C-alpha cells in the first residue's frame, strides 16, 4: 500500500524513485528468493510508529551487512588480483614431471594477487614496501601456488622470526600507527638488531619498493625449490618473473604525493590496462642448478636472504604469464583467494630452507581463521579446475553434496570410490637426513653483509643515492637516537662509506663503530648489473601515462595530434583542466577533461605537456595547483613539453632548462624524449645528495 509522499520525487514505497533511475530491471529478492516489495521503508506500526522486529526483509538485510567483513590478511592485507593464463613456451621434459612444465602451448588458467605487506586493507598502494606477487596456477594436476614477492630475498632466515618481523613492521601496538610504513622506531629497533635483515633492507630502501606499476615489477619465488622428473631426479630451481614492459619505479617524493592524490594508483593502473586490452605480461625464467653447483656456490642456497647472481647462473626462459581478465567481484575473488605455499603438484617440491618450511604450515592456518573453516578450497576462486575426489567430509559451509555411502578408505562397497595412485600421485623427494635434533642456525648462513654490499654497488649512481636517501628518510622518523646510531653502525658492516653518507644525512655526530659482525663483508664480489632497475628500463612510452595541462584558448589541433601519437605508442593520455567540463579551444570546440586540476597533479603521469596559449597561461598562473603541477614534474625529473606561450608558467614553477624541458616542441619530439624516462642529471639540482 503506497503511503503519502515523504520527500520530493519519492512516494511511500519508492516506486517513483526507481522509475527515475530507469525501468526494465529484474525483481529484487531476499536471500531465500522471495521478491521484495519495498526496499526503501522498514515495516512500521503506524505511519510514524515503531519499526517492527518481525520485518524479515529488514532483519536479513542488516544482519547480512553486519557480517560482511572477514578478517583481513595478517600481512599482505592490501592487494589486487586479476585472472589470466600461463603458457609454457619451452618444455622442461626430463627436468620436471609436472604437466604444466611439459606441455608447450597449453594455457593454464591463473589467478594473480599483488599486494603490499605492512599496510592494512585500506592503506595506500605507494607505501615503501615489498610487493607480494602470488600466483595460483589451476593446473590439470591440481593447484600450484607460487607465493612470491617483487624482491628476491627476505628479511629473515628462519620462520620462527616472522611474527617478530611483522609485529615490528606494522603499526606500533599502543598507538596503532604509523600505518603502512616501516619509518618508525619499532621497525628499526628490530632491524638494527637483526643483521640477517641487512641485505633485504638494501632492497627495500631501493626504488624496487616503490614500483611505478605492478606491470613494471619483477617477481621471485625467493626460496630454492626442487623440480623432480619421472625418474625421481631432482634439480634445484629459483623462479623469476620478468615484466614485458621492463622495470620502472617512481621517486620517493612522488610516492608520498601519489599516496594522497590516488591511494589506488596501482590497482587503478592494472584494472585500466586490462580493461583496455593492454594485457600485462611477464616471462617466467628459472635458475636451474644441481647439488654440485650448490656445494660450490659462495652462499647457502637454502638461505632466503641470498640470491644467485644471474651473471653466475643465467635464467632459462620457460613461459609467459598474461593477465587478461579483471575480477567480477573483488570480495568473492581477490579477498577470498587463499594462497597456500604447501600447494604444490607432482614434479615440484620443497627444500629444507627453514623459512620455506615454516610457510608450508602458516598459510593454510591463516586461511582457516580468515575464511572461517576447512572448506575454503571449495570457493570458486580457490577450487581446482581438475577432478577433486576425497573422503574429507562435512565442516562449516560444505558446498558440495558428496554422493554414496563410502567416506573412508580402504573400502570395497562402492566401485567408483577414489583410490591412491602411486604413479601419478604427489611424492616427496627422498632427501637423506642426518644429524641431531637442535635449535641452531647453520654456519653457512652467517654472512649477512657481502651480498648487501654487492647489491648496493651493482646499482647506478642515482639508484645508490636513492638507497642512501631512503635510509635517511626512514631513520629520520626514529625518535630513539640509540636506534639510529645502531642502524648506521650495522650499515658500517656493509660498507663504511654507505654508513658515512647516511650519518651525514641524519646529522649524526661522532665516529661510527661497526657492530661486531660474525662474518665481515667481502669486497671481491663482482657487481651484478641485473640488479639495477635502470638497466631494465625500456625506452618506450608504452604502458606509461602522459598528462596534458590545458586552459581556455588551447590549440585543438595540437591536442588532437598529441593524443593520436600517444595512443599510437600504446601509452595513456589524460587532459587536466581547471574545470572537469574541459577547456574551450581557440576554435570554439570543447576539449573534455579527464581530471580537474586539483585532482590531477603531475605525480599521476610519467611525462607532462603544458598546452596553453598566451591567455590560457595567465589563467593557469593564478592557480597554485598549476604551478605545483609543473614544479613537481620538474622536481620528479620528468620530461616536460610545452608550447612557447607556456614559458611564464615554467618560470613561475622554477623550471631550469635541460634535455628534458622541451619548449615549443612537437608531439613527436616530446614523446621521443619521454620514452627515455627520467632526466637523472637534473637530480642534484633539485635535492641534496649525501
Q: Which of 99, 127, 147, 630 binds ligand HDD (CB under 6 A)?
A: 147
Select from 143-151, 378-386, 485-493, 550-558 the region that touches ligand HDD (CB under 6 A): 143-151
Do the beta carbons of residue 43 and residue 1 sit within 8 Å?
no
- Of 200, 202, 301, 355, which lies in the binding site for ligand HDD, with binding defined by CB under 6 A? 355
Annotated catalytic residue, options 102, 149, 375, 493:
149
Q: Does 102 bind ligand HDD (CB under 6 A)?
A: no
C-beta of residue 303 within 8 angstroms of C-beta of residue 154: no
Catalytic residue of the set 76, 223, 555, 636: 76
Distance from C-alpha of 253 to C-alpha of 158, rounded to nearest angstrom: 34
- Return the SS3 of 639: strand
Asked if 148 interacts with ligand HDD (CB under 6 A), we say yes
Helix (H) or strand (E) holding 234: strand 234-243
285, three cell numbers: 625464467
Active site residue 223: no
Which C-beta is closer to ligand HDD: that of 148 or that of 641? 148
Q: How far is the CB of 291 from ligand HDD (least distance, A)?
A: 22
Distance CA 306, CA 197 (A): 11
Spatial separation of the C-alpha atoms in residues 654 and 631, rounded to whole Å: 7
ω into 472 cis (within 30 of 0): no
Q: Which is nearer to ligand HDD, 138 or 252 (CB)?
A: 138
Residue 159 within binding range of ligand HDD, rule CB under 6 A: yes
CB burial of 48-61 (b: ≥16 within 10 Å; e: otherwise) equals eeeeeeeeebbeeb
Closer by beta carbon to ligand HDD, 448 or else 678: 448
Q: Which is nearer to ligand HDD, 131 or 501 (CB)?
A: 131
Q: Contact 527/454 with Cβ under 8 angstroms?
A: yes
CB 349 within 8 A of CB 232: no
Radius of gyration of the chain (CA): 29
Q: Does 154 bind ligand HDD (CB under 6 A)?
A: yes
The smaller minimum CB distance to ligand HDD, of residues 73 and 638, is found at 73
- Find the length of the chain: 690
CB-based contact 189:168 (threshold 8 Å) = yes
Q: Is 149 noted as a catalytic residue in this protein?
A: yes
Stretch that binds ligand HDD, among 1-9, 18-26, 357-365, 422-430 (CB under 6 A): 357-365
Q: Is 366 in the site for ligand HDD (CB under 6 A)?
A: yes
The answer to whether 357 contacts ligand HDD (rule: CB under 6 A) is no
Q: Does 465 bind ligand HDD (CB under 6 A)?
A: no
Number of chain residues interacting with ligand HDD (CB under 6 A): 26
Q: Which is nearer to ligand HDD, 331 or 391 (CB)?
A: 331
Closer to ligand HDD by CB, 115 or 143: give it. 115
CA distance 208 to 202: 10
Piece of 306-314, 355-363, 434-442, 533-541 that binds ligand HDD (CB under 6 A):
355-363
Question: H or E element: which one contains 584?
Answer: strand 583-584
User: For ligand HDD, which is the closer residue by CB, 115 or 229?
Assistant: 115
Of the residues 162, 279, 473, 690, which one makes contact with ligand HDD according to CB under 6 A: 162
State the nearest-atom distance from the C-beta of 355 to ligand HDD, in Å: 5
The residue within the footprint of ligand HDD, chosen from 115, 206, 326, 569 (CB under 6 A), is 115
113 near ligand HDD (CB under 6 A)? yes
Minimum distance, C-beta of residue 517 to ligand HDD, in the bound complex (Å): 24
- The b-or-e profile of 62-80 (16+ CB within 10 A means b, else e) is eeeeeeeeeeebebbbbbb
- CB count within 10 Å of CB 205 equals 23
Q: Of the listed pieces 96-104, 353-361, 545-553, 623-631, which binds ligand HDD according to CB under 6 A? A: 353-361
Interface of this chain with ligand HDD, residues 199 to 238, rule: CB under 6 A:
222
Q: If binding is defined by CB under 6 A, does position 317 make contact with ligand HDD?
A: no
User: Within 13 Å and on the Cβ side, how many CA atoms surround 145?
Assistant: 20
Residue 254: CA count within 13 A, CB half-sphere: 26
Q: Which is nearer to ligand HDD, 76 or 501 (CB)?
A: 76
**Least Å from the CB of residue 264 to ligand HDD:** 17
Minimum Å distance from CB 148 to ligand HDD? 5
282, β-bridge pairs: 243, 321
Q: Among 36, 74, 426, 443, which residue interacts with ligand HDD (rule: CB under 6 A)? A: 74
Binding to ligand HDD (CB under 6 A) within 44-73 occurs at 73
CB of 458 to ligand HDD, least distance (A): 21
H helix or E strand, kind and range, residue 512: none
Alpha helices in 457-577 (DSSP H): 461-476, 481-494, 496-506, 556-568
3-state secondary structure of 200: helix
Q: Least distance from C-beta 457 to ligand HDD, angstroms? A: 24
Which CB atom, from 12 or from 358, has the smaller least distance to ligand HDD?
Answer: 358
Residue nearest to ligand HDD (CB): 132
Cβ atoms 303, 445 nearer than 8 A: yes
* Binders of ligand HDD in range 274-313 (CB under 6 A): 304
Q: Are strands 131-139 and 142-149 parallel, antiparallel or unpaired?
A: antiparallel
Q: Is 71 left (phi over 0), alpha (psi -120 to 50) or beta?
A: beta
**Secondary structure in 3-state letters for 119-185:** CCCCCCCCCCCCEEEEEEEEECCEEEEEEEECCCCCCCCCHHHHHHHHHHHCCECCCCECCCCCCCH
CB 111, min distance to ligand HDD, A: 10
Binder of ligand HDD out of 317, 362, 417, 427 (CB under 6 A): 362
Question: Whose Cβ is closer to ligand HDD: residue 221's or residue 246's?
Answer: 221
Binding site for ligand HDD (CB under 6 A): 73-76, 79, 113, 115, 132, 134, 147-149, 154, 159, 162, 222, 304, 337, 339, 355, 358-359, 362-363, 366-367
Residues assigned a catalytic role: 76, 149
Amino acid at each position: 500500500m503506497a503511503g503519502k509522499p515523504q520527500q520530493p520525487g519519492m512516494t511511500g514505497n519508492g516506486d517513483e524513485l526507481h522509475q527515475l533511475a530507469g525501468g526494465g530491471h529484474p525483481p529484487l529478492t531476499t536471500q531465500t528468493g522471495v521478491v521484495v516489495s519495498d526496499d526503501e521503508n522498514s515495516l512500521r506500526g503506524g505511519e510514524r510508529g515503531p519499526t517492527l522486529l518481525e520485518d524479515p526483509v529488514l532483519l536479513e538485510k542488516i544482519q547480512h551487512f553486519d557480517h560482511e567483513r572477514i578478517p583481513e590478511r595478517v600481512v599482505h592485507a592490501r592487494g589486487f588480483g586479476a585472472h589470466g593464463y600461463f603458457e609454457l613456451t619451452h618444455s622442461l621434459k626430463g627436468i620436471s614431471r609436472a604437466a604444466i612444465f611439459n606441455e608447450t602451448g597449453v594455457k593454464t588458467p591463473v589467478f594473480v594477487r599483488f599486494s603490499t605487506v605492512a599496510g592494512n586493507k585500506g592503506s595506500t598502494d605507494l607505501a615503501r614496501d615489498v610487493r607480494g606477487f602470488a600466483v595460483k596456477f589451476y593446473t590439470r594436476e591440481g593447484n600450484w601456488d607460487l607465493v612470491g614477492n617483487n624482491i628476491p630475498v627476505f628479511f629473515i632466515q628462519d620462520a620462527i622470526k616472522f611474527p617478530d618481523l611483522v609485529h615490528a613492521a606494522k603499526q606500533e601496538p599502543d598507538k596503532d600507527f604509523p600505518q603502512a610504513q616501516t619509518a618508525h622506531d619499532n621497525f628499526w629497533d628490530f632491524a638494527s638488531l637483526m643483521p640477517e635483515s641487512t641485505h633485504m633492507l638494501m632492497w627495500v630502501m631501493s626504488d624496487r619498493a616503490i614500483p611505478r606499476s605492478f606491470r613494471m615489477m619483477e617477481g621471485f619465488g625467493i626460496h630454492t625449490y626442487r623440480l623432480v622428473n619421472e625418474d625421481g631426479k631432482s634439480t634445484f630451481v629459483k623462479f623469476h618473473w620478468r615484466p614485458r614492459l621492463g622495470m620502472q619505479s617512481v621517486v620517493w617524493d612522488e610516492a608520498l604525493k601519489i599516496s594522497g592524490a590516488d591511494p589506488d594508483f596501482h590497482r587503478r593502473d592494472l584494472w585500466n590496462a586490462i580493461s583496455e586490452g593492454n594485457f600485462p605480461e611477464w616471462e617466467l625464467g628459472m635458475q636451474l642448478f644441481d647439488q654440485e653447483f650448490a656445494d660450490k656456490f659462495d652462499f647457502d642456497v637454502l638461505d632466503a636472504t641470498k640470491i644467485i647472481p644471474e651473471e653466475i647462473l643465467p635464467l632459462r626462459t620457460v613461459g609467459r604469464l598474461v593477465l587478461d581478465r579483471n575480477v567480477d567481484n573483488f570480495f568473492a575473488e581477490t579477498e577470498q583467494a587463499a594462497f597456500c605455499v604447501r600447494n604444490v603438484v607432482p614434479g615440484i617440491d620443497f627444500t629444507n630452507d627453514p623459512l620455506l618450511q615454516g610457510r608450508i604450515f602458516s598459510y593454510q592456518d591463516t586461511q582457516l581463521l580468515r575464511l572461517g573453516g576447512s572448506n575454503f578450497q571449495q570457493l570458486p576462486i580457490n577450487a581446482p579446475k581438475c577432478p577433486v575426489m576425497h573422503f574429507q567430509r562435512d565442516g562449516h559451509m560444505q558446498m558440495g553434496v558428496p554422493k554414496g555411502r563410502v567416506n573412508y578408505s580402504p573400502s570395497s562397497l562402492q566401485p567408483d570410490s577414489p583410490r591412491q595412485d602411486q604413479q601419478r600421485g604427489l611424492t616427496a623427494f627422498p632427501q637423506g637426513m642426518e644429524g641431531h635434533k637442535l635449535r641452531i642456525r647453520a654456519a653457512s648462513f652467517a654472512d649477512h653483509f657481502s651480498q648487501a654490499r654487492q647489491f648496493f654497488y651493482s646499482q647506478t649512481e642515482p639508484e645508490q643515492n636513492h638507497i642512501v636517501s631512503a635510509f635517511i628518510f626512514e631513520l629520520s622518523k626514529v625518535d630513539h637516537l640509540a636506534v639510529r646510531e645502531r642502524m648506521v653502525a650495522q650499515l658500517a658492516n656493509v660498507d663504511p662509506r654507505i654508513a658515512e653518507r647516511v650519518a651525514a644525512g641524519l646529522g649524526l655526530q661522532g665516529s661510527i663503530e661497526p657492530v661486531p659482525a660474525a662474518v665481515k663483508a667481502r669486497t671481491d664480489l663482482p657487481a651484478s648489473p641485473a640488479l639495477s632497475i635502470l638497466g631494465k628500463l625500456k625506452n618506450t612510452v608504452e604502458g606509461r601515462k602522459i598528462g596534458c595541462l590545458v586552459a581556455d584558448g588551447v590549440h585543438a589541433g595540437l591536442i588532437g595530434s598529441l593524443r593520436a601519437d600517444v595512443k599510437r605508442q600504446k601509452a595513456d593520455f589524460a587532459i587536466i583542466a581547471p574545470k572537469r567540463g574541459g577547456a574551450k579551444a581557440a576554435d570554439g570546440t570543447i576539449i573534455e577533461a579527464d581530471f580537474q586540476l586539483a585532482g590531477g597533479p603531475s605525480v599521476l603521469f610519467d611525462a607532462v605537456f603544458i598546452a596553453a596559449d598566451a591567455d590560457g597561461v595567465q589563467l593557469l598562473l593564478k592557480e597554485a595547483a598549476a604551478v605545483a603541477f609543473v614544479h613537481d614534474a620538474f622536481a620528479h625529473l620528468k620530461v616536460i613539453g610545452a608550447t612557447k606561450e607556456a614559458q611564464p608558467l615554467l618560470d613561475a614553477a622554477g623550471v631550469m632548462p635541460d634535455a628534458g624541458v622541451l619548449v615549443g616542441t612537437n608531439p613527436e619530439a616530446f614523446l621521443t624524449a619521454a620514452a627515455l624516462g627520467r632526466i637523472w642529471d637534473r637530480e642534484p639540482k633539485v635535492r641534496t645528495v649525501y
